[in-house]
Structure 1
Amino acid sequence: MQVTVWYFAGCPNWRTAGQRLRQAMDEVGRADVPIAFVPVETDAEAAALGFAGSPTFTVDGADLFDTAAAAGTLACRIYSTPAGLAGVPEVSDLVAALTRKMAS
């Protein structure tokens, strides 16, 4: 299982994203899986990757929250959470997305 947080340094949410993802991984019983942090540094790189914004969570290359078309630009990503729109999903949202991914 390859778990990645894609981010760009101009978006402050990626650090919190990593902490929440680690907690979610622990909750689904995958504390053994390392999380890679991959910076996206230019608009050209973002376009080539189909970068959906920072932070983007992928497992084995698939976006855990593939709810919108990829933006392909350096931008902060917005997630729908039970508390409203936020720059990072809640741990419970990550647990649900990981559980769906692991079941498929």
Structure 2
Amino acid sequence: MGIVLAAVPLLIMPYLSYVQRRAGRELGSASAVADFKQTLLYSCLSGMLLSGSNSTHSSADPGATRSSRRRSLLNTTGATGRTAVMEIELLIVPDCPNEAPAARLLRQALDDVGLRTMRFTTVVVTSPEDAEKQQFTGSPTIRVDGTDPFAEPGQPPGMACRIYHTAMGPAGVPDLATLRQALKQAADH
């Protein structure tokens, strides 16, 4: 059964990555074009699994999957050796100038706490109603298991850029050390 589960992505993923890349180019979406690399990498990893290779491969892609509704719930083994089940989301407004820095920061924090295989989902908040429903207080917002570790009480939902209070002063992304701590705490529970 495990061989079948590894073989199916090997057969399907190259086609899906081609479709993602083509659609991303047609839509002018850099994130969708970048996501095709991750899909193709997944196909390669399936091939490595089938061949019995113990090689590792890393990608410059920050590991984000862009979706307006989809959630990512993954199992991964952290630095503690325990399996963590976590849902990681990066919520943004369209054309957020801090999307790429936030995605890089989140990828670095995940790597730093030993969650190198953990992926996250980028969720695009497109309307004030969606912001209200998501309790979205600004772009970018990082959620760990549905919780915003940087939430400020009384902050109303809205379609705006978010300002984080960091040790270096106001910033468009959270502090790396605080993000690492939030991820490690979630992984340990």
Same fold (TM over 0.5): yes
Q: Counterpart in 2 of 1:34?
A: 119
Matched, 1:94 2:182: no
Which runs of 5 or more residues in structure 2 are unaligned? 1-85
What residue is the counterpart of 1:56 in the other structure? 141
Distance 1:79 1:5 in 2: 15
**1:11 positional shift:** 2.6
Aligned to 1:81: 166
Deviation sequence 1:62-90 (CA, Å, 0-9, x none): 11212233421100111111100111013
In the alignment, what sits opposite 2:102? 17
Query: Deviation above 6 Å: which 4+ runs of structure 1?
Result: none
Give the count of matched residue pairs: 104
CA offsets 1:7-27 (integer angstroms, 9 cap, x no match): 002431121101000000000
Q: Once the two structures are superposed, what CA deviation does each residue of 1:31-90 show, in whole Å capped at 9, x if it has no partner?
A: 111010000001111112111110111111111212233421100111111100111013
RMSD of aligned residue pairs (Cα, Å): 1.5
Instruction: Tell me what 1:4 maps to.
Output: 89
Range with bigger deviation, 64-73 or 20-29: 64-73
User: Does structure 2 retain, via aligned residues, the 8 Å contact 1:79–1:87?
Assistant: yes
Amino acid corresponding to residue 86 of structure 1 in structure 2: A
SS in 2 for 1:18: helix
Give the distance between the partners of 1:12 and 1:21, measured in 2 at CA.
15
Q: What is the distance in 1 between the residues matched to 2:135 and 2:119? A: 23
Aligned residue for 2:101, secondary structure, equals: helix
Q: For residue 162 of structure 2, what is the amino acid of its counterpart?
A: R
Structure with the higher fraction of residues in helix conformation: 2
TM-score under structure 2 length normalisation: 0.51
Shift of 1:100: 3.0
Residue identity (%): 38
Q: 3-state DSSP class of the match of 2:187?
A: helix
Q: Which residue of 1 aligns with 2:9?
A: none
* CA distance in structure 2 between the aligned counterparts of 1:54 and 1:38, rounded to whole angstroms: 10
Q: Any stretches of 5+ residues in structure 1 without a counterpart?
A: none
